[in-house]
Amino acid sequence: MEHYLPEIFWHDRKALLSVDFQKIEQKDRYKIVTTSVQKEVRIWEFEFEVVNGKNERASLAVNFVANLVGHSGAVNVARFSPDGKLLASGDCEGSIFVWKVGPITAQNDLIVSGSDDMPPNKENWIRARQPFRHDSDVCALCWNLDGTLIASVSNDDSVLVHNVLTGKRVWSIRNHHHFPEGIVWDPRGKYLITLSTDRKLDIIDAVKGSKLKCISSAELPDTFIHDVQMKKGVYKLFHDDQLMSFSRGCDFSPDGELLFAPCAHLEVHESNVYGTYVFRRKDFPKSQPFAFLPSSQPTHRVACCPLMFSLCPNVKENALGVPYRILWAIMTKDSVTVYDSQSFYPFAYVDNIHYNNLSDIAWSPDGSILLISSLEGYCSFLRFDLSSVGEVMESVPSPPPSPVLVQPKKKGRPPKCETENPAASPKAAEKGLLASDPVQSAEVTPSRPLVGTKITTPKTRSIINYFKKSSASISKAHIAEKEDNHNNIDLDITIISEPCPEVAPVQSSSTSTPTAASTKVKKRASLISVPPITLD
């Protein structure tokens, strides 16, 4: 492994935030993109040149390609599409620009770079369409395998997927409790993985946009990690929002069988255990990590090498149990560790290569270069000899099918039971209350009163009792006299529900109307209007 640190002010001594490689056809030549707190995106190309022989260390030659102007704030992230033809960049204003290389006419061979201090652009990068929008800072973004969709996460607690060809939004998720800081697209196109500040890793259906699984805690066995004894129990897996990191970048292995998740944090008594989790695809339904890679400080970013290697025959162990070898790099704020899936220990480690914190890492398409950016404004290059790593696999074995991650539906209300007819119940049959009987059960309110049925009501204290008492004080002779005088009056009154109570005779001649007490009937009983009665 060789380390290169060119003394280049990539963005005028400003802090670098993101780097990525572009896939090109030229061998031994590379193109990269850099972003910073400036409002610009810059593209570079570099190569390694051997000066005085093959045995000497090659020198690194870097050339400027283009300066992309258009963002209104700091550009937090930039990623090339898988085929390298498009470039997506997101800024702190919530805008996502999609760039492409436009034609260069003969009249305008030298393109203005947008700055007097910058050389003219060699490539004409233009916007492919109108920007996509978030309501706040764009934290991370990624492409799908065919380069037609862009998934992005933001400080507005949202996950958005846009179609680059049509410019339309495919779906969105806005129910995160805390904003997600990292997102990665499954190489098989089935899942989207987000890692948020709410200590959760969400597995999302990349097609429908629905959450399939949320991993936040797991039951871990008894073990020792860095001389810290862990007892068997359920632990929170990830770091909370107190971690000073702008991004939490997960990554898949090239075949999608392994998922590497940083920001692991286990609180064991008064000790804090940091590291990185390795999830197997078949273990997604269990929400259980397969392996834990400890670290002395919190990890922020994981980047997996795009190549896969054959197993080394001289090594008997196979740490992850996969039929191939893969490499991945884990970044902390000041170190980078490179792991091999066949070994239990890392085979490369660098630290203190920059004065300020590291911000991003990226692998070259051929797997030989690891690019590291820092907040001090410089980039480091780690060059690997792939012949010492192993033989590159040309054909990858077909992976097993993906597990089923469909969430169970919530239990609905039990079906309503049909109401049993009280008249047909066994209890009613014992009392002789059948449906055909003219007399209905007291538990059922009759729809209409039955003819010839005498209905009585319980005695209650009311104003009727007062009239009854007052009528008792009148002499029987006086009552008889009044009754004789009214023998010629025809009273056409039909009692509907209950008999009308006695009414005290009126002392003077007047027109009388029935009182509320005298016309009180049972509920739901229809009344027949009564003509006024004149008492002489």
CATH number at residue 51: 2.130.10.10
Q: Where are any strands of DSSP class E within 281-432?
A: 291-295, 301-304, 327-331, 335-340, 348-351, 358-363, 369-374, 379-383
Question: Which has the closest alpha carbon to 267: 300, 220, 302?
Answer: 220
| Least confident among 162-176, 306-320, 379-393, 410-424 | 410-424
State which amino acid sits at residue 144.
Answer: N
Nearest-CA neighbor of 341 among 385, 296, 297, 309?
Answer: 309
C-alpha angle 339/344/347, rounded to 5°? Answer: 40
Lowest-pLDDT range of 65-79, 388-402, 502-516: 502-516
Write down the pLDDT at residue 194: 95
Mean pLDDT: which of 112-126, 230-244, 469-483 is highest?
230-244
Q: pTM of the full predicted structure? A: 0.74
Q: Which residues contact 523 (CB under 8 A, 6 or more apart)?
A: none
- SS3 annotation, 410-448: CCCCCCCCCCCCHHHCHHHHHCCCCCCCCCCCCCCCCCC
Highest mean pLDDT among 129-138, 218-227, 409-418: 129-138
Counting every residue written for the chain, the total comes to: 536
Residue 444, pLDDT > 60, answer no
More confident: 79 or 500: 79
Q: What pLDDT score does 242 carry? A: 83
pLDDT for 398: 80
Query: In sequence order, what are the residues at sequence separation of 6 or more whose Cβ sits closer than 8 angstroms to the Cβ of residue 396?
Result: 254, 255, 308, 324
**Has residue 124 been placed in a domain?**
yes
Number of independent structural domains in the chain: 1
What is the residue range of 251's domain? 2-389
Band of pLDDT at residue 531, cut at 50, 70 and 90:
low
Q: Is residue 240 part of a domain?
A: yes
Beta bridge partners of 3: 382
* Average predicted confidence (pLDDT) for the chain: 81
At residue 525, the pLDDT reads: 54
| Whether residue 61 has pLDDT greater than 90 | yes
Residue 186 pLDDT: 96
Instruction: Tell me, yes or no, whether 435 lies in a domain.
Output: no
* pLDDT above 50 for 440: no
User: Is residue 80 over pLDDT 80?
Assistant: yes
Q: How confident is the model at residue 434 (pLDDT cuts 50, 70, 90)?
A: very low
Q: Is the pLDDT score of 351 beyond 80?
A: yes
Q: What are the C-alpha distances in Å from 506 to residues 465, 487, 530?
A: 17, 16, 18
Higher per-residue pLDDT: 464 or 495: 464
pLDDT higher than threshold 80 for residue 504: no
Spatial contact of 245 and 181, defined as CB atoms under 8 Å apart: yes
At residue 417, the pLDDT reads 46
In terms of pLDDT, which residue wins out, 485 or 14? 14
Query: For residue 127, what pLDDT is reported?
Result: 95
pLDDT for residue 179? 82
What is the pLDDT confidence band of residue 175, given thresholds at 50, 70 and 90? Answer: confident
Within-domain flag for 395: no
- Is 415 within a domain? no
Residue 259 within a domain: yes
pLDDT in tens, 361-378: 999 999 999 999 999 999
**Model pLDDT, residue 401:** 84
pLDDT digits (tens, 9 = 90+) for 245-254: 878 899 999 9
What average pLDDT does the segment 198-216 reach? 93
Please give the average per-residue pLDDT across 140-144, as a whole number.
96
Q: Which residue has the higher pLDDT, 194 or 226?
A: 194
What is the structure's pLDDT at 119? 87
Is 195 a member of any domain?
Answer: yes
86/100 Cα distance (integer angstroms): 5
Q: What is the pLDDT of residue 511?
A: 46
> Residue 394: pLDDT band by 50, 70, 90 thresholds?
confident
**Residue 159, CA distances (Å) to 40, 153, 205, 261, 519 in order:** 24, 5, 12, 18, 70
Confidence of residue 507 (pLDDT cuts 50, 70, 90): very low
pLDDT at 160: 96
Task: Count other Cβ atoms within 10 Å, centred on residue 6.
Answer: 14
pLDDT at 435: 40
Q: For residue 155, give the DSSP letter.
A: T
Q: Is the per-residue pLDDT at 134 higher than 90?
A: yes
Closest CA to 138 of 171, 197, 91: 91
3-state secondary structure of 337: strand
Proportion of the chain above pLDDT 90, given as a percent: 56
Residue 514 lies in a domain: no
- Please give the average per-residue pLDDT across 296-323, as a whole number: 92
Q: Where are the beta strands (DSSP E) in 206-315?
A: 211-215, 217-220, 223-225, 228-230, 233-236, 251-252, 258-268, 271-280, 291-295, 301-304
Taking the C-alpha atoms of residue 265 and residue 273, their distance in angstroms, rounded to an integer, is 6
